[in-house]
Chains A and B, each alone.
Chain A
Amino acid sequence: MTGHPTTGPATGGTKPGIRQRLSRAMSPGTAFSARHQSLTTVVTFAAIGILLPVIVLLPPFSGFGTQNDWVGGFADAGIFVLLAIGLNVVVGWAGLLDLGYAAFFAIGSYTYAYGASPFTGLHIPFWFMLPIGAFVAASFGIMLGAPTLRLRGDYLAIVTLGFGEIVPAVFLNASTLTNGTNGIVGLDQPSFGRLFGVGDFGFTNPWPYFVTILGIIAVAFMLLSRLENSRLGRAWVAIREDELAAASMGINTVTTKLLAFAIGASTAGLAGVYSASKLSIVSPDQFNFTVSFTVLAMVVLGGMGNIWGVAAGAFLIFELQSQGLKQLNTFIGGLGLPAFNLGPITVDLATINFLNYQYLLYGLALVLMMLLRPEGLFPSRRRRRELHELPDEAERGNVELSEADEVEL
């Protein structure tokens, strides 16, 4: 920047704004080129939607189960993908540790149960219940957030943990309203009407569910990923980095954090409505702490703050735990290993059910991850920066600096 033109002192008369004066003092900047992320999102999801079922048809994979098993499994994985990208807004972007995320999932599910089941006699179509569930969950998110988001860090985590325990407890104990432990059964199944001829939603045909969750994820994903590089997305990251500095740059930290909470909650609400309609039953035990924990682990393992990484991580982890562990059972059982004695204990690998060790494996995976790759499998650029000094990058900066050192001010 060698001696750019400067204007003389301000002359009287009309007062130009500071931006006009800057423009007068500076030569025009380079043009900004818009990125077309949305198109990528749509194309990618179309590709996934077409490719996944094809992969399943390939011989080595189809041996493990029927194609319908796989597609149904993908539809279930979709619920967790949706939950994970919603929680990513709260934890990954805004940096608010929410340990009770399952509460909003529960609220979405029960909203569907009230809106579309013999229990209340209402039969509102699934497609209307989706936005209603999202809205109700968001309202609860705001109600929880308004008084508590002034708390910081650990305190917020404890409050959300409490909320996550209270909500299922209320559903469990307010039995006149919720049928208690038995839950509400016989929820309506969605229907495309006679629109697409995809066939009916039902327990034997997972395809319509698969297509539906893919659509919901694609829309949610597109809307959320657009937020990342917006005024709001930057405000979230700024708050996560330094709340006081963010407030001092004009960000209303209260409403901005509240928005993150509401958006996260509404995504969980969508997942809740979908999940309730697929299972056709809601009961309080579907929403205990392990759900909140699983989704949080997916966000952390996938790569906090990177919406693609979080989605991929959630999908991988869900498939590993639901399909992978099952396959491990059959695989090891099929090897016909003999039981061996370790003193008083007899270990028979053939009879071990690895599904029972799911949370042990989570714990191991998390510990290993924190040691080896704390930023997650597919980290955002920002997280990687945060957790690793990049020596080469820092050096490059210094080299450029010495060149630019003759800058005259």
Chain B
Amino acid sequence: MSSEQRPDLVLDARSVTKRFGGLVAVRSVDFTIPFGSIVSLIGPNGAGKTTFFNVIAGVYELSDGEILFNGETVIARPRRTWAEPIYWFVVPTILLILAVAALLAGIGIIGHLLFLATLLAIIPALLVALTRPRWYVRMIGRTGIFRSSRPNEMVSLGIGRTFQNIRLFGNMSVLENVMVGMHSRMHANLLDAALRLDRHKREEEAAVNDARKWISYVGMAGYENEAARNLPYGYQRRLEIARALASEPKLLLLDEPTAGMNPVETREMTGLIARVRKDLGVTILLIEHDMEVVMGVSDRVTVLDHGEKIAEGSPDEVRANPQVIEAYLGRGAASA
């Protein structure tokens, strides 16, 4: 792949393709996001916006292409994904079966040795995987076992997201929802919590304080102990943003944050989005179905249709682009 680096870009997606069986949902899309900008991705329903977004967020493995975050390749076509499960499952299973067979056949020593060998192979690797998950992931990434990211790794890198269909933790309180968002920025482990070590207590206190700040930042002070599922729709959307911000992202992905809102709520939401960039310096990728919403806040707009990029530029350029009008209004409208 091309080794050209662009230090001004937070995200650089190069010819990203995503296929679902025979359907090409995203076709060879190049997409860049400069630091500190608000970039919008628009297009009619089914254009592939959410799919593209899920590829960046590490939910879907991409079929082709490469994604650089902060100048480092973080997602590429997965390689040798079968190697890890084989190590964890096939090898120990065979060893165990052999061990049991040896024991049943009365060759006790060999059985014991095989059993010990299984434990020796699995337990150290497991301890490393449990206690140092990031290091472990980086290690197997380096050995080429797999290169594709899981969603949680993208969050650790600094990508936060919301969902098109709200996915809050409905039975948890507003405060707890935001604190789950802080998960990757907290470090207390099992022992810290079980033994109530100082580290856990201090971190927990700080987390509650920060969570309260995030909640009032999105205008929901006073709702801390309400169950998320009991919130009205507009508040649920804001809570999703607070939860994503709590992971301290460098890049925030918002999937149709104004879907289903009335004009007043929509205006409030766009205000919040602009404020997040201005106050917090977070770069934002905004997906929208409704073209008008993005025009006010975006620095740059990219248009997808049938999985392909059909236009890119400033909001005014895009609005005047005949191909875009055609995609939205159908053939004939552009020539009218």
Assess whether B231 is interfacial by the CB under 8 Å rule. Answer: yes
What 10 A-B pairs are tightest by C-beta distance, nearest first? A250-B184, A250-B155, A230-B193, A29-B212, A147-B89, A32-B208, A245-B167, A409-B268, A247-B151, A241-B169
Closest to A16 in B: B281
> A326-362 CB contact bits vs B (8 Å, 1 = yes)?
0000000000000000000000000000000000000
- The size bracket of the interface on A is 35 or more
Residues of A within 8 A of B249 (CB): 18
Assess whether B171 is interfacial by the CB under 8 Å rule. Answer: yes
Residues of B within 8 A of A22 (CB): 210, 213-214, 217, 245, 279-280
Contact A19 B188 (CB under 8 A): no
Kindly provide the distance from the CB of B100 to the nearest chain A CB, expressed in whole angstroms: 7
Residue among A226, A241, A253 facing the most chain B CB atoms (10 A cut-off): A241
Assess whether A368 is interfacial by the CB under 8 Å rule. Answer: no
The answer for the CA separation of A249 and B240 in the assembled complex, in Å, is 10
Contact A143 B122 (CB under 8 A): yes
Residues of B within 8 A of A15 (CB): 281
Contact B106 A250 (CB under 8 A): no
> A1-39 CB contact bits vs B (8 Å, 1 = yes)?
100101101100001011101110110111110100010
> A211-230 CB contact bits vs B (8 Å, 1 = yes)?
00000000000011011011
A230 and B89 in contact (CB under 8 A), knowing A22-B217, A251-B180? no
For chain B, residues 260 to 301, give those with C-beta under 8 angstroms from any C-beta of chain A.
Answer: 268-269, 271-272, 275, 278-282
The interface of chain A, by Cβ under 8 A from chain B, is 1, 4, 6-7, 9-10, 15, 17-19, 21-23, 25-26, 28-32, 34, 38, 139, 142-143, 146-147, 170, 173-174, 176-177, 223-224, 226-227, 229-235, 237-238, 241-242, 244-253, 255, 258-259, 263, 382-383, 385-386, 390, 393-394, 397-398, 400-401, 404, 407-409
Contact B190 A227 (CB under 8 A): yes
Contact B230 A397 (CB under 8 A): yes
Residues of A within 8 A of B313 (CB): none
Contact A247 B209 (CB under 8 A): no
Closest to A233 in B: B193
Residues of A within 8 A of B184 (CB): 249-251
Kindly provide the distance from the CB of A318 to the nearest chain B CB, expressed in whole angstroms: 26
Q: Flag the segment in B1-9, B14-22, B196-204 that touches A.
A: B196-204
Contact B180 A382 (CB under 8 A): no
Residues of B within 8 A of A7 (CB): 279
Contact B172 A9 (CB under 8 A): no
A232 and B193 in contact (CB under 8 A), knowing A146-B89, A244-B151, A245-B169? yes
> B38-71 CB contact bits vs A (8 Å, 1 = yes)?
0000000000000000000101000000000000
Closest to B134 in A: A252
Contact A1 B281 (CB under 8 A): no
Contact B193 A176 (CB under 8 A): no
Residues of B within 8 A of A147 (CB): 85, 88-89
B248's partner among A17, A231, A246 (CB-CB below 8 A) is A17
15 A-B pairs in the complex with CB atoms less than 8 angstroms apart: A18-B280, A22-B245, A26-B213, A32-B205, A142-B126, A147-B88, A232-B193, A235-B183, A241-B169, A241-B171, A245-B168, A248-B59, A382-B172, A408-B268, A409-B219
The answer for the CA separation of A409 and B217 in the assembled complex, in Å, is 9
Contact B169 A238 (CB under 8 A): yes
Contact B119 A139 (CB under 8 A): yes
Contact B279 A21 (CB under 8 A): yes
Residues of A within 8 A of B193 (CB): 226-227, 230-233
Assess whether B130 is interfacial by the CB under 8 Å rule. Answer: yes
Assess whether B144 is interfacial by the CB under 8 Å rule. Answer: no
A26's partner among B194, B216, B229, B243 (CB-CB below 8 A) is B216
Kindly provide the distance from the CB of A229 to the nearest chain B CB, expressed in whole angstroms: 8
Closest to B178 in A: A249
The answer for the CA separation of A288 and B34 in the assembled complex, in Å, is 61
Contact B188 A34 (CB under 8 A): no
Residues of A within 8 A of B230 (CB): 390, 393-394, 397
Kindly provide the distance from the CB of A382 to the nearest chain B CB, expressed in whole angstroms: 5
For chain B, residues 210 to 254, give those with C-beta under 8 angstroms from any C-beta of chain A.
Answer: 210, 212-214, 216-217, 219, 221-223, 226-227, 229-232, 235, 243-245, 247-249
Closest to A230 in B: B193
Closest to B93 in A: A147
The answer for the CA separation of A408 and B272 in the assembled complex, in Å, is 10
Assess whether B308 is interfacial by the CB under 8 Å rule. Answer: no
Assess whether B36 is interfacial by the CB under 8 Å rule. Answer: yes
A386 and B130 in contact (CB under 8 A), knowing A10-B281, A397-B230? no
Contact B180 A238 (CB under 8 A): yes
